[in-house]
């Protein structure tokens, strides 16, 4: 199997951004008139990384990374629950703060796990298919097109699971639409960066994978 120099670094960055998003997703900020998760400001970076993975290394490797991200997130979530369940030492004053932050994680993590997996798989599938259809041309169409599909699924699933009954239904819908739009805008703004990274990686890795004969079964974890 071909060995890549920078694949591990890309995967590490992807997992890092996901874990950061997991633990901070419960903070709701006011963006214009909508309450949205603070992660709308940086979670789209995971989709940019996913685009790079699929464009350079192919759907199978990107799919395996989605599974890695999911497993890492689940392990982290279980550790969070262990942390809040252990009694604090006598004199430790910050246990309530840990419980408040980490204690809200289970529902948010569940939403995140489902949303990340579904959104990630859809993003990678759409980009891989569009690359074959466009014969490798018009990279921007597939990075933005795949993000529109993947982020829509991600945002609807996450907000519905994590914030249903927390926000009024009309506000929840508006927040979903606002969050989705912001994520797509971030993708568009970062398109020049995506072009630069993809172009550089293709040269460094001597790889530009086309998924012409790929098994697109999302439940396959192996990379080939």
CB atoms within 10 A of CB 67: 17
**Which residues of the chain are modeled with pLDDT < 70?**
104-105, 223-224
The Cα–Cα gap between 100 and 78 comes to: 16
Task: Return the pLDDT at 105.
Answer: 60
Task: Return the pLDDT at 184.
Answer: 93
The secondary structure of 19-42 as a DSSP string is HHHHHHTT-EEEETTEEEEGGGGT
Over residues 33-67, the pLDDT tens digits come to 777 778 888 888 998 999 999 999 999 999 999 99
CA torsion 207→192→119→49, rounded to 10°?
Answer: 50
Please name the fold of domain 7-205.
Arp2/3 complex 21 kDa subunit ARPC3 (1.10.1760)
CA distances to 2, 11, 160, 205 from 49, in Å: 20, 8, 25, 16
Is the separation of the CB atoms in 57 and 131 below 8 Å? no
Helix (H, G, I), strand (E, B) or coil at 209: coil
Say what percent of the chain tops pLDDT 70.
Answer: 98
Please, what is the Cα angle at 180 between 188 and 191, to 5 degrees? Answer: 10
Residue 29 tokens read as 């900020």
Could you tell me the residue ranges of all domains in the chain?
A: 7-205
The Cα–Cα gap between 198 and 180 comes to: 24
CB atoms within 10 A of CB 118: 18
Task: Return the pLDDT at 183.
Answer: 87
Residue 186 tokens read as 């971030």
């Amino acid at each position: 199997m071909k060995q890549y120099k920078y694949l591990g670094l890309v995967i590490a960055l992807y997992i890092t951004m996901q874990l950061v998003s997991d633990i901070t997703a419960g903070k709701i900020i006011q963006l214009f008139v909508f309450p949205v998760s603070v992660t709308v400001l940086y979670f789209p970076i995971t989709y940019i990384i996913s685009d790079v993975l699929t464009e350079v290394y192919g759907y199978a490797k990107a799919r395996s990374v989605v599974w890695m991200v999911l497993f890492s997130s689940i392990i982290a979530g279980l550790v969070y629950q262990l942390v809040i369940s252990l009694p604090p030492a006598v004199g430790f004053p910050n246990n309530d703060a840990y419980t408040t932050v980490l204690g809200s994680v289970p529902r948010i993590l569940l939403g995140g796990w489902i949303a990340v997996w579904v959104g990630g798989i859809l993003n990678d599938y759409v980009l891989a298919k569009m690359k074959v259809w466009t014969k490798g041309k018009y990279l921007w169409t597939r990075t933005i097109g795949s993000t529109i599909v993947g982020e829509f699924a991600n945002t609807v699933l996450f907000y519905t699971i994590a914030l249903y009954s927390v926000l009024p239904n009309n506000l929840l819908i508006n927040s979903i639409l606002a969050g989705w739009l912001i994520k797509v805008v971030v993708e568009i703004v970062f398109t020049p960066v995506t072009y630069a990274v993809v172009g550089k990686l293709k040269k460094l890795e001597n790889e530009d994978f086309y998924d012409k004969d790929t098994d697109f079964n999302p439940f396959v974890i192996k990379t080939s």
